[in-house]
């Protein structure tokens, strides 16, 4: 597939996906969803790729869903097409991916970033769910994921007032794992992705599944699930290699088997 709204590059074992609609501040039109879904599927299916970084421009990760595309839609259009439901496909990516956010991550931009396994922010990053100012509410999971990430009081305040949150507050609130100077964002995100890419790929998928299970299961169910997945990894060559490499004081050479 040829992409018009995103750029996809393979850098070693890391796929770098960049939103590429600069004139619209990377607004998430339906075409972006189609292309991003295709790029993420291709990443998941490619054994040579072990981590993915999703980023935008200096000014905007993405300034939200495309308001111009949405404005004329009726209830029947939205309900009939189950508008935005397709974005959940991105969350079905089995392999790890990171959102690297500089500038605006508003509305759908914030929501897509929150779909990532972890978020790294530039000191210029601005997060927000301003949909209420447009007469709507978050529609790509913001009311759920923001609340899970930063707690009810702050999420409710942001969603009800439409106020934005800067990078330092996003860090102290637990929305992002770290904040770096804007000029170092991509280098830092790639460094993190390269570290993840060196890990045993099956363990990385299993780790994602276990952490994500904490959102869906009770504590007892989640701990049991974790233990079963942990046991299961003893059936992989990479567990044998990882533990042998430790004893032999060398770096593991992981095959994803
Ligand atoms: N949709 C469509 N176009 C957008 C857009 C969006 N979400 N955000 C920005 N643009 C366009 C602008 O219309 C403008 O295009 P024109 O030059 O053709 O007019 C261009 O991008 C540049 O934007 P601005 O001139 O507004 O740039 P600025 O620097 O003055 O302001 C901004 C930047 C504060 C981010 C401002 O653009 C803004 O408020 N954008 C909308 C943010 C928003 O409300 N997002 C939520 C959308 S709804 C949603 O996402 C629903 C959901 O839950 C999924």
pLDDT of 135 above 90? yes
pLDDT at residue 216 in the model: 94
6-197 and 199-248: same fold?
no
Query: What are residue 62's phi and psi, to 5 degrees?
Result: -165, 130
127 closest CA partner among 62, 197, 54, 202: 62
Q: Give yes or no for residue 105 CB within 6 A of ligand 1.
A: no
Examine the residue annotation and report whether 131 is marked as an active-site residue of this protein. Answer: yes
pLDDT at residue 157 in the model: 98
148 closest CA partner among 189, 91, 198, 72: 91
Which parts of 91-236 are beta strand (E)?
Answer: 97-101, 104-106, 118-122, 126-128, 165-166, 178-180
Rounded distance between C-alpha atoms, residue 197 and residue 105, angstroms: 26
Q: Domains of the chain: which residue ranges?
A: 6-197, 199-248
What is the Rg, in whole angstroms, of the alpha carbon atoms belonging to the chain?
19
CA torsion through residues 211, 41, 182, 156, sign: negative
Rounded distance between C-alpha atoms, residue 59 and residue 109, angstroms: 12
Q: If you search the block for the tokens 């899970």, which residue do you land on?
A: 148
pLDDT digits (tens, 9 = 90+) for 10-48: 999 999 999 999 999 999 999 999 999 999 999 999 999
pLDDT at residue 131 in the model: 98
pLDDT digits (tens, 9 = 90+) for 67-119: 999 999 999 999 999 999 999 999 999 999 999 999 999 999 999 999 999 99
CATH class belonging to 6-197: alpha beta
pLDDT of 152 above 90? yes
Q: Which of 64, 68, 129 to mutate to test the pocket of ligand 1 (most atoms within 8 A of CB)?
A: 64
Q: Taking a C-beta distance cutoff of 8 angstroms, is the pair 146, 129 a contact?
A: yes
Q: What is the pTM of this model?
A: 0.97
Is 199-248 in CATH node 1.10.12.10?
Answer: yes
pLDDT at residue 1 in the model: 80
Which member of 64, 108, 128, 242 is catalytic?
108
Retrieve residue 176's tokens. 């992002």
């Amino acid at each position: 597939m040829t992409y018009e709204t995103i750029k996809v590059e393979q850098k070693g074992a890391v796929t770098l996906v960049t939103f590429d609609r600069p004139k619209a501040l990377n607004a998430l039109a339906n075409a972006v969803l189609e292309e991003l879904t295709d790029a993420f599927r291709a990443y998941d299916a490619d054994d040579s790729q072990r981590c993915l970084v999703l980023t935008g421009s200096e000014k905007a990760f993405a300034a939200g869903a495309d308001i111009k595309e949405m404005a004329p839609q009726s209830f029947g259009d939205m309900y009939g097409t189950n508008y935005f439901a397709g974005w959940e496909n991105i969350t079905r990516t089995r392999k790890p991916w990171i959102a690297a956010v500089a500038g605006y991550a508003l509305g759908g931009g914030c929501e897509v970033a929150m779909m990532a396994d972890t978020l790294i922010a530039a000191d210029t990053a601005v997060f927000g769910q301003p949909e209420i100012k447009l007469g709507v509410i978050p529609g790509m999971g913001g009311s759920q994921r923001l609340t899970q990430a930063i707690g009810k009081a702050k999420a409710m305040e942001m969603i009800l007032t439409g106020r934005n949150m800067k990078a330092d507050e996003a860090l102290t609130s637990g929305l992002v794992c770290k904040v770096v100077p804007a000029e170092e964002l991509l280098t830092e995100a790639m460094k993190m992705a390269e570290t993840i890419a060196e890990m045993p790929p099956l363990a990385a998928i299993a780790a994602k599944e276990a952490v994500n299970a904490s959102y869906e299961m009770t504590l007892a169910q989640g701990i049991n699930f974790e233990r079963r997945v942990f046991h299961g990894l003893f059936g992989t060559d990479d567990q044998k290699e990882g533990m042998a490499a430790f004893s032999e004081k060398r770096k593991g050479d992981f095959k994803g088997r």
